[in-house]
Amino acid sequence: MWARSWQMRQSGGSRIYTWNKSRTKKARPGKGLLAVVAQLSNAVVRAVLVIVVICTPSLLLPAASPDSAQVVVLVALFAGLFTFSEYASRYPGLIEFRDAPPFNRVRAIGIFATLFLLSLAAGAPDGPQTLSLIVNATGLVLAHALDFSYSPIWLLQVFLPETASNGDLTLLRAMGGLSFLIGLVTIVIFAILMRLKGWPNRNSSFNVWVNLPTFDPTAGGDVVARLTRDARVNLILGFTLPFLMPVLASYGIENLDVSIASSSQLMVWMVSLWSFLPVSLLMRGMAMGRIAHMITERRKQIVRDLVEQGALASA
């Protein structure tokens, strides 16, 4: 079966369109069905994992009220349905790097580890288990090492009211130390995988439309310059958010008249988001910088090939 298509190539300052004729194989119905089933099953597994991650603090910590448990379940179901719809569709949606593992997997493991360990630390006073005590002690050691004037750990105390007890302040600092360590480990693991495996993949093309649905490569300007600019913006925001988020969150807590000291689950979520959002921005900045580097190297390779072809033609 023959297939024809238009291809565009750029030569100098003009665009040249060529008509290509190639032989393609007829797809078998069975293979298409298997691909659809595999995609749907993959979407279901991801949706279930998202629900488990969101429900982790509720499963490990006592709920402040029955209404809070219902809210968590509704949020988890909504997030699971959203994840299923994103990964079950062939077209891009809102999730970035959907077809470029292990970007989203590393982020999911990082937020799950953060929620799980912080929940253990928050539940240590009620149940002095060995694992909880070890986690709490590790967080306190890290918090003591990173606690200096106007450091991110030091700024976490604005989450608590002035009347908070020393126990609540110690628990918050321990959570901050743990979340800071997990975020640092998450970034290092992604950097190592990106370096060793040549992320996204040396042997396959990178689909910008699917993996960066909010980035329009035809909006104007050079794609590499825009990707580099976005990468720098994400890196700057990732470094500054740990300092800005406690200050901004304190205004919201005062206006809503909410005390995170009264709810261990709320404290776990606040500290987890405090570390997860900067880590996500830093990883996104690293990823976009990597893509800009790949496009630059590809352009250089095309120029070298054209130079070699011109040299062979002249010889």
Which amino acid is present at 138? Answer: T
Residue 6 scores a pLDDT above 70: no
> Are the C-beta atoms of 259 and 205 separated by less than 8 Å?
no
pLDDT 10s digits, 223-269: 888 999 999 999 999 999 998 888 887 776 666 666 676 778 888 99
Statement to judge: residues 39 and 106 lie in one domain:
no
Specify which residues 16 forms β-bridges with: 9
The arithmetic mean of pLDDT across residues 22-27, rounded, is 46
The rounded mean pLDDT for the chain is: 81
Report if residue 315 sits inside a domain.
Answer: no
The arithmetic mean of pLDDT across residues 10-37, rounded, is 53
pLDDT at position 19:
40
Statement to judge: residues 58 and 128 lie in one domain:
no
Task: Go through 112-134 and write b for each residue having 16 or more CB atoms within 10 A of its CB, e for each that does not.
Answer: bbbbbbbbbbbbbeeeeeeebee
Q: What are phi and psi of 16, to 5 degrees?
A: -115, 125
DSSP one-letter code for 123: T
Radius of gyration of the chain from its Cα atoms, rounded to whole angstroms? 25
Statement to judge: residues 55 and 112 lie in one domain:
no
Statement to judge: residues 130 and 221 lie in one domain:
yes
Beta strand pairing call for 14-23 and 2-11: antiparallel
For residues 116, 271, 280, 189, the Cα torsion angle rounded to the nearest 10 degrees is -50
**In angstroms, rounded to a whole number, what is the distance separating the alpha carbons of residues 280 and 97?**
12
Statement to judge: residues 78 and 149 lie in one domain:
no
Residue 308 scores a pLDDT above 50: yes
Statement to judge: residues 83 and 106 lie in one domain:
no
**Nearest residue to 48 via CA among 84, 93, 97:** 84
Q: Which residue would you say has higher pLDDT here, 49 or 162?
A: 49
Report if residue 308 sits inside a domain.
Answer: no
For residue 73, what are the CA distances in angstroms to 82, 85, 95, 262, 300?
14, 18, 22, 20, 51
Report if residue 23 sits inside a domain.
Answer: yes
pLDDT 10s digits, 120-174: 888 755 555 777 788 888 888 888 888 777 788 888 887 777 777 888 888 888 8
175 by DSSP, 3-state: which?
helix
pLDDT at position 110:
94
Number of domains in the chain: 2
Specify which residues 21 forms β-bridges with: 4
Q: Given 70, 90, 110, which residue is the final one in a domain? A: 90
Residue 26 scores a pLDDT above 60: no
The arithmetic mean of pLDDT across residues 62-88, rounded, is 87
What is the distance, to the nearest Å, from the Cα of residue 175 to the centroid of all Cα atoms in its chain?
A: 21
Domain with 141 in it? 97-297
Statement to judge: residues 210 and 131 lie in one domain:
yes
Which amino acid is present at 284? Answer: R
What is the distance, to the nearest Å, from the Cα of residue 276 to the centroid of all Cα atoms in its chain?
A: 8
Report if residue 290 sits inside a domain.
Answer: yes
**In angstroms, rounded to a whole number, what is the distance separating the alpha carbons of residues 233 and 284?**
10
Report if residue 276 sits inside a domain.
Answer: yes
pLDDT at position 21:
43
Encoding tokens for residue 184? 């640092």
Beta-carbon count within 10 A of 254 CB: 11
Statement to judge: residues 82 and 109 lie in one domain:
no
Statement to judge: residues 233 and 115 lie in one domain:
yes
Q: Where on the phi/psi map is residue 150: left (φ > 0), alpha (ψ -120 to 50), or beta?
A: left
